[in-house]
Homo-oligomer: A and B are copies of this chain.
Amino acid sequence: MKIALLSIGDELLCGETVDTNAAQIAARLYDCGLEVNRQMTVGDQLTAIADALATLANDHDTIIATGGLGPTSDDVTAEAAAAATGDSLVRNETAHAHLVAFFRSRGRELFPQNEKQAFLPSRATVIPNPTGTACGFRTLLGSCHLYVLPGVPSEMRPMVEESVIPAVRERAGIPMLLRTRVLTVFGISEAQVGQLLSDLALDGIRIAYCVQFPLIQVRLRLTASPESGAAALDTAAEMVRSRLRDAIVAEDHDTMETVVARLLDERGLTVAVAESCSGGLLAKHLTDISGSSSYMRAGVVAYANDAKNRLLGVPAELIERHGAVSEEVAAAMAEGVRRTVASDLALAVTGIAGPTGGTDDKPVGTVFLSLCDHNGCRVRELHLSGSREQVRIATTYHALNWLRRHLLASDADDRGRSRP
């Protein structure tokens, strides 16, 4: 099966919106063992859309298109699809009934403009939209199956899941089997990862590297048939593990956050954080997961110096003597939040995220981390580069990774300076 994705919208070609839909649909297809051959983006012009549909239909047997089904006048995808299939645009009664019911159920007024969303190509079949006003539709472009979905990601996703994926899988006769292993790496560069894995001989497996700052994903993809290749995939993952060891922080659907959450839950430990330069980002990552209240006790974003004193009990004279960005203050912040909220563990971050605020002694990117438990506090000094956002994100992942390694009690480097 040869599949193309078409993303439609001026906002994409003008760079106002990042196209997340294409990646989400591609990922779901890939999970099913289906690869996208080509992705294309065009603007909201009737001829551009109709041309792209005709071009893609020429050498693909499936097109999944998103965008341009909204209620406003700039949305013309249904009209363009009708032009491409040679159909007229008619009021679809299923789509209209959905609109009426949708607005009634939410006690909202049905604006005349919304009725536009019920007009579809005459031979199209509705793809239900459980969460929004715009129905999708499917139709044929010659022998090519065309699926058209709204561009709003939260509406598109369930429609792909409930309607498009089952239809495509049925046509392709594909069962659901594992075809990818993902090993997420932190703390070494892409070139180092490539070097460490360069001489791996992996039969029937394609290896790819994907940088998602500050993480690198090593993706192992089965190119052989899933049935014969399942063992090869396990072997390959084991070989990568033996090369990258501690740098692997998560596997497959796990993330740094889910791994840390599971380790905390398994050990029955609670954590608290005290942050300055990361401004709440560390607390945010620790609470990304539903159920985080079982291990996350509290976070303190002590931005002002006297907030460090008032909320965390950091002595003002300690800040005066060593500066707010210092190992002494990092440790006092961690101790302070641990004592105040009675958590088992505490992490603290103080640093200079930039772009202003750096000095010769402590340039932008200087960050002190502290990890504190019943044995006391240890401190680490980081020197990070990049934008304010990158320094904040990298800081957050260094802190999470330290916590992860501490929980695994397998941290060979974990012998930082001990503090009373």
Contacts and interface: CB of A to CB of B under 8 A. Distances in A.
Nearest to A24: B15
A419 to B, nearest CB: 23
A341 B111 contact: no
Interface in A224-272: 270, 272
Interface stretch (A84-92, A140-148, A303-311, A403-411): A303-311
Contacts of A37: 13
The count of identical subunits is 2
B11 A17 contact: no
Interface stretch (A122-130, A370-378, A386-394): A386-394
Given A26-B12, A111-B191, A341-B307, A287 B279 contact: yes
Which of the four size classes fits the interface of chain A? Answer: 35 or more
A163 interface: no
A135 interface: no
A206 B73 CA distance: 11
A13 B26 contact: yes
A36 interface: yes
A70 interface: yes
Interface in A289-310: 290-293, 296-304, 306-307, 310
Contact of A217 (B16, B194, B356, B389): B16
Interface string A184-212: 00000011101100100000001111111
A10 interface: yes
Contact of A15 (B18, B25, B221): B25
A196 to B, nearest CB: 10
A48 B42 CA distance: 20
Given A22-B41, A73-B194, 12 more contacts: A10-B208, A11-B219, A14-B27, A14-B35, A17-B23, A38-B40, A38-B41, A70-B194, A71-B190, A154-B387, A279-B287, A306-B341
